[in-house]
Structure 1
Amino acid sequence: MNKSILVILTSAFVPIVSFAQFNTIGDVASRPSIKTIKNPSEQTVAPKDSVLPSDTASAEIPDRMEEKEERLRTYLSVSFPLKKIQINSKFGMRMHPVYHKYIMHNGIDLHARHEDVLSMLPGKVLRVGYDSRSGKYVTVQTANYTVSYCHLSEQYVKTNDYLHAGEPLGLTGNTGASTGEHLHLTTKKDGKAFDPTILLNYVKNNK
């Protein structure tokens, strides 16, 4: 189970590269299209059917390669959700501290004290909301995976924003069904929850 999730996590990044290029936050200034027509004798770029090399084209190739590599490094990166990881409550059945019932804990609780929460993976903000159980939360989607960050005191993002890995999305807090400040993480694949420590280990091995 764990190995299959890690394999699918790795392969999930492939479509993200193209997806992310069209969803990055920020204003893009529109630039007028300027085309200079040269005298035929001044042409420096060889025509398509010429056997001569194009100096202009060859000069652009290294720059484009470097740009693509930098883009890949950005979109294939991963991050821990907090600067320091300390698990206070594990994934699985437990006695709930608020409801006082033995129920499933579908995530993990991380120790936190008024600090920025970072997106673990690059992806689109699927939901920003509040409910009585999770408090203020942010859910980020990466391919067929979602990561929910719960019990926040502040939410920095809005629905449909695009986040890079390591980008702040909120501030830890104690909202919802919580007895003290912490960060609750819920990770899902195709809508089904799995142990977030699998993702934490993936980050540890690939960061």
Structure 2
Amino acid sequence: MNFTVPQIAKMIDHSILRPEFTLEDVREGCAVARKYDVASVCVRPCDVPVAAELLRGTRVAVGTVIGFPHGDSPTEVKVAETELAVHQGATEIDMVLNIGWLRSGDIAAVEHEIGQVVKAAGAAHVKVILETAYLTDEQKLAACWASERAGAAFVKTSTGFAPKGATIDDLALMRSAVSPKVQVKASGGVRSLDTMMAMAAVGVTRFGTSSTTEILQDLARRQVAVSAGRA
């Protein structure tokens, strides 16, 4: 295994999104993110100010979700959510595209909305959540193409709240659909190191997971075992 623990950590968006989480849960999640120096935390919109304060001075970015989890908020609301999140300290924006518009074939409306969120985000990176569980392969491709044309930094599989999360086939399809300047994020069901490694092999560079501690501890144990075997 060629990845180090710090390298894998910088591929993780530590997810703190469950609706029942308390403020103490959010603080504990941010502590995990700080301990392992992950790429970012992904918190509920109401938790952005707390996370921004807790992670100030670290290399951990603060991300949040927009139009979550159904993607059906009016564009104006998604734009307002984005502007507020950035103002409060978010530097990564994970937006759910309008799934109904996409399934209806109104790609122009989907692309326009993504572009409006990208504009509102300014320097913050926008990750577009497709919610692949509800889409055909043709719709997934159309969403990826629209996301790139609209200026998104990432395309992302799932919210984690649909019937199915990230799959290798979907990730490979998404990676093939966008140019190298657009990254691919896996989310939904990323709970083990082996899953991460299989997804990284098809070009995934960012992972949304709440299993950060388990994944990184597993990698550390394996590396110790390998080192011991060489001694």
TM-score normalised over the length of structure 2:
0.22
Which has the larger share of helix? Answer: 2
> What's the TM-score once normalised by structure 1's chain length?
0.24
Higher RCO, 1 or 2 (CA under 8 Å, sep at least 6)?
Answer: 1
| Greater percentage in strand | 1
Bigger Cα Rg: 1
